[in-house]
Each structure stands twice: as structure tokens, then as C-alpha cells.
């Protein structure tokens, strides 16, 4: 109560002109022993809040040059080592860092300087070249500070922003500006595309790439990525919601390449959006252990889950064969489910397994030469097909009279010239509800068609 009265008293004195703002800058709350200074502006507090989670990245990369040392010159090629530098932000206390891909591209060993001056190394986990984003993991033995995360959903042109980065090698350089514009499209090259960028007047220099653009509350709202060459105070940042969504997707794909969970989830890019189970494979351990669509994932192992980024990062710590406890919320009650994680099948094996589980067929691509001979005999122009080598008894395919030796030409209006085609068909949203689908096949140089329901409703195979 005494502190509140003191602040109110200062406000009254200011209003009546008894005390000046200069005097307020030196005012001291004797009761609480707290010193208030006008020098501690919102900008100072924002930088102080975010800086511990900003890291400097550097390392050597090998570049190819000609004997003349310039693009387009003739002569034998040579290679030289160059020093690269950039910035990153820690998004998870286990040391996961978001940066630009071009910062770590071809770097032989990623060196990291933390805010406290310690030198550590990091490993590249996943990258998306097109979006110029990468995730690296710092090799550290203790939890690290994380960047406060804001949202790019409500940004305003004219609001104050702050950039922190390794500008020209000057570590933790801070600059201030405003949001100059939103939704900028910036073409770069065939490999990288920048869409819906934030334009800012904050000073961005070489070495700032991958660093944070902060709002005045010290929350990250973007990843600094580019400047307009030859211009002043024209720089760009990738909006943080776009960054989180892209990083989540690329980590999710990386997890899928090494783990089989049998679980599909959904959730938003902002903290607090949560993660909900939308599908559980009938043959997966998750289904056997009671996980159901609609369950809200609260914790994976020891990792609390607030959004899908938390979820996919938690799975990064899992190795094939591990068993992990999940905590889920169902109908307002929390329960724990133990899940076993198996090594992921290759994409081709996944497609083959899905075709066996859903349709009941094992297939292989018909060689191009065989299709040419078949088309010549039948006077047709089929692009290709899948040779059916086995049919599962009781499956939708078996109920339609599909047999080993048949060549599957198409399903639901789409051609099945390859396993990739089949994968696209089975994963298409139109196929998720078990529709009654038309299929075409060749048997003994005759084209046949029929209708099968992937929910096992049968119909006769007809000529």
C-alpha cells in the first residue's frame, strides 16, 4: 500500500508541476529500496529481456572459385575457406535454435557464442532451403534461456521494433526502427522465396541474418533475413508465425523419416494453440494403448506441449525403440498413455503398407517397355500401371474380384502409374472418408472397371 501511495503521489506532483520529469528520473522509492530511472526505457527493457536467448553463429565454409577469382572467369577451379557469420534465437531450453539456412549452409562446423560469452558447437537438424530457415541444436549440458515469443498476427505499421544480431561481427548489436510496411514480396532467386515479409527501418547488416526482430515488449515477431542493397533503412524479416509454422513442418517431416508413431496431430503456430490428435492408425501401438482422436496432448515425456512446435521438438529427443509416456486430456480429465516408437519405414515401404492395409493389394510398377507392348497389343495409350502381385483375403480388393496378375490403371479418376501416384491418391482428402471409388485395371488384355468402398462395401467387377 505504501508503494502504491508513493507512485500516486509522484503522479500528482507531476500533474501540479511541483516536480519535474528530470527530478523524477532521480526519484527513489525509499520505502521499497527500489531506484526508478527514466533511462530504463521500454527499449532497454525489451533488449534486456530478449538478449539472453540471442546467439551468434559462425564457422568456415568452402566455396568454389576460378583461377581468376571471379564469376564467369576461365581457368581451373580452386576452393577456398571463408568465414561465415550470422545470428540465431533459442526457442527451446534444450538448445534448439532457429536461424536462416544461408547462415549455416555448407558450414563445416557450426560454432556458437552464447550471450554470456561461452563458446559451444551446434549441429544442423533440419532445413527448408526455399524458405531460408534452419533448425540447429546447441551442444549444451544445461537448460538455456529462450526467446519470448510474440505473434505477427496483429502487427501495426509504425510500431517500434528492435533488431539484435552479429552485425559485421560485432556481437549483440542492437538497432531500433519501426515497421515500415507489411506483406512485402521480395524475389531473390530460384532457390529461395520470401513472401509476406515485414519491412522495417531498423538497421540490418551482414551478420544480422537469422536474428530476432522484437516488438517493444521484447517478444520476437520476426527473423531478420534481408536488406535492400544500395538503400537505407529498408530491411526485411520473416513473420514469426510463418517461421514457426515452417520450422514445425520441416521438423515433423524429419521425425516421420525416422519414427513411426501412427498418430497425426493438428495445432496452431502460436503458444497456447495446443495439439489435438486427429487420427490414430488402427495398427499402431498408440491405438492399442488407448490414444483416441480428439485427445489433447498435454505432455510428451518430460516436455510440456503448448503448440505443435513443442510436440515435434519433443519427438526429436526420441530414438526408435524408445517407450515414452504421453499425458493427454480427454473430456476434461487427464490420463497417461505409454507409447512405443518404431523405426520409420521408407516412403516406398509406407505406401506399400498403406495399399495393403487400405485396399488389400501388393504392387510394383510395370516397366515402361512392358506398358508399350501392352498398349500395342490392346491399341491403347495407357501411361503406366501397377502390377498386382498379391491380394489380401477379405480386403476391399478381394471383394471386388481383383486378382494377382491384374494391372491397376487408376482409382477415383486418377492414374496409378507409380507408387507416388498411389500415395497421392490414398492421402488425398477425398479418400479419407472411405468413398465408393471407381477403379480401372487390365486383365488378360481386357480393360475392366468396378467400384469399391474403402470402408469394405463391395460391388461386382464388370466388363
For residue range 334-382, list pLDDT tens digits in order.
Answer: 999 888 777 665 556 777 877 888 888 988 888 877 888 888 788 888 8
Distance, CA of 60 to CA of 422 (rounded, Å): 44
Q: Look up the CATH number of domain 347-453.
A: 2.30.42.10
Please say if the pLDDT value at position 70 is more than 60.
no
Q: Predicted confidence band at 394 (pLDDT cuts at 50, 70, 90)?
A: confident
Please say if the pLDDT value at position 6 is more than 60.
no
8 A C-beta contact, residue 50 and residue 115 = no
- Distances in Å between the Cα of 439 and the Cα atoms of 262, 429, 446 are 27, 17, 14
| Closest to 325 measured CA to CA, from 312, 309, 314, 310 | 314
- Mean pLDDT (the chain) is 81
Q: Are strands 333-340 and 407-411 parallel, antiparallel or unpaired?
A: unpaired
The reply to whether 40-240 and 347-453 are identical in fold is: no
Q: Look up the CATH number of domain 40-240.
A: 2.40.10.120
Catalytically active residues are 102, 132, 209
Q: Tell me, what's the pLDDT at 20? A: 45
| Sequence-distant contacts of 311-316: CB under 8 A, at least 24 apart | 311/265, 311/267, 311/275, 312/248, 312/251, 312/252, 312/255, 313/92, 313/94, 313/96, 313/251, 315/255, 315/259, 315/261, 316/96, 316/125, 316/251, 316/254, 316/255
Please say if the pLDDT value at position 95 is more than 90.
yes
Which whole number is the average pLDDT over 283-295?
78
Please say if the pLDDT value at position 389 is more than 60.
yes
List the beta bridge partners of residue 178: 160
Q: Tell me, what's the pLDDT at 11? A: 37
| Residue bearing cell 495407357 | 382
Please say if the pLDDT value at position 28 is more than 50.
no
| Residue bearing cell 501411361 | 383
Q: Tell me, what's the pLDDT at 183? A: 95
Domains in the chain: boundaries: 2-39, 40-240, 258-343, 347-453
CATH superfamily of domain region 258-343? PDZ domain (2.30.42.10)
Distance, CA of 329 to CA of 155 (rounded, Å): 33
Q: Tell me, what's the pLDDT at 351? A: 77
Q: Predicted confidence band at 267 (pLDDT cuts at 50, 70, 90)?
A: confident
Q: Predicted confidence band at 27 (pLDDT cuts at 50, 70, 90)?
A: very low
Q: Tell me, what's the pLDDT at 12? A: 34
| Residue bearing cell 516488438 | 215
Which whole number is the average pLDDT over 19-39?
55
Q: Tell me, what's the pLDDT at 414? A: 85
Q: Predicted confidence band at 2 (pLDDT cuts at 50, 70, 90)?
A: very low
Amino acid at each position: 500500500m505504501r508503494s502504491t501511495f508513493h507512485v500516486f503521489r509522484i503522479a500528482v506532483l507531476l500533474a501540479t508541476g511541483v516536480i519535474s520529469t528530470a527530478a523524477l528520473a532521480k526519484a527513489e522509492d525509499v520505502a521499497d529500496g527500489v531506484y526508478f530511472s527514466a533511462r530504463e526505457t521500454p527499449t532497454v527493457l525489451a533488449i534486456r529481456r530478449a538478449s539472453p536467448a540471442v546467439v551468434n553463429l559462425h564457422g568456415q565454409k568452402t566455396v568454389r572459385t576460378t583461377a581468376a577469382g571471379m564469376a564467369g572467369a576461365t581457368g581451373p577451379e580452386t576452393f577456398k575457406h571463408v568465414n561465415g557469420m550470422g545470428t540465431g534465437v533459442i526457442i527451446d531450453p534444450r538448445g534448439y535454435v532457429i536461424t536462416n539456412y544461408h547462415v549455416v549452409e555448407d558450414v563445416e562446423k557450426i560454432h556458437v557464442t552464447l550471450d554470456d560469452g561461452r563458446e559451444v558447437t551446434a549441429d544442423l537438424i533440419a532445413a527448408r532451403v526455399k524458405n531460408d530457415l534452419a533448425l540447429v541444436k546447441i551442444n549444451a549440458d544445461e537448460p538455456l534461456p529462450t526467446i519470448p515469443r510474440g505473434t505477427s498476427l496483429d502487427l501495426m505499421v509504425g510500431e517500434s521494433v528492435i533488431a539484435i544480431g552479429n552485425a559485421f561481427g560485432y556481437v549483440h548489436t542492437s538497432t531500433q526502427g519501426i515497421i515500415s510496411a507489411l506483406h512485402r514480396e521480395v524475389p531473390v532467386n530460384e532457390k529461395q522465396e520470401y513472401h509476406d515479409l515485414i519491412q522495417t527501418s531498423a538497421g540490418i547488416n551482414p551478420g544480422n541474418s537469422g536474428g530476432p526482430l522484437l516488438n517493444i515488449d521484447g517478444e520476437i515477431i520476426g527473423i531478420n533475413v534481408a536488406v535492400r542493397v544500395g538503400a537505407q533503412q529498408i530491411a526485411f524479416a520473416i513473420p514469426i508465425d510463418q517461421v514457426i509454422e515452417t520450422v514445425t513442418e520441416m521438423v515433423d517431416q524429419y521425425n516421420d523419416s525416422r519414427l513411426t508413431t501412427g498418430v497425426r496431430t493438428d495445432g496452431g503456430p502460436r503458444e497456447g494453440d495446443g495439439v489435438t490428435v486427429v487420427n490414430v492408425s488402427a495398427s499402431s501401438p498408440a491405438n492399442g494403448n488407448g490414444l483416441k482422436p480428439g485427445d489433447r496432448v498435454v505432455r510428451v515425456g518430460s516436455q510440456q506441449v503448448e503448440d505443435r512446435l513443442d510436440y515435434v521438438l519433443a519427438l526429436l529427443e526420441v530414438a526408435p525403440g524408445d517407450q515414452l509416456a504421453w499425458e493427454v486430456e480427454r473430456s476434461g480429465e487427464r490420463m497417461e498413455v505409454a507409447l512405443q516408437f518404431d523405426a520409420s519405414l521408407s516412403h516406398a515401404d509406407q505406401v506399400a503398407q498403406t495399399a495393403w492395409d487400405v485396399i488389400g493389394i501388393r504392387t510394383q510398377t510395370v516397366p515402361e517397355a512392358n506398358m508399350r507392348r501392352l498398349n500395342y497389343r490392346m491399341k491403347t495409350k495407357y501411361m503406366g500401371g501397377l502390377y498386382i502381385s498379391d491380394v489380401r483375403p477379405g480386403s476391399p480388393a478381394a471383394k471386388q474380384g481383383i486378382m494377382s496378375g491384374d494391372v491397376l490403371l487408376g482409382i477415383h479418376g486418377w492414374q496409378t502409374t507409380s507408387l507416388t501416384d498411389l500415395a497421392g491418391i490414398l492421402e488425398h482428402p477425398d479418400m479419407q472418408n472411405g468413398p465408393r471409388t471407381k477403379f480401372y485395371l487390365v486383365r488378360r488384355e481386357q480393360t475392366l472397371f468396378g467400384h469399391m468402398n474403402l470402408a469394405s462395401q463391395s460391388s461386382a467387377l464388370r466388363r
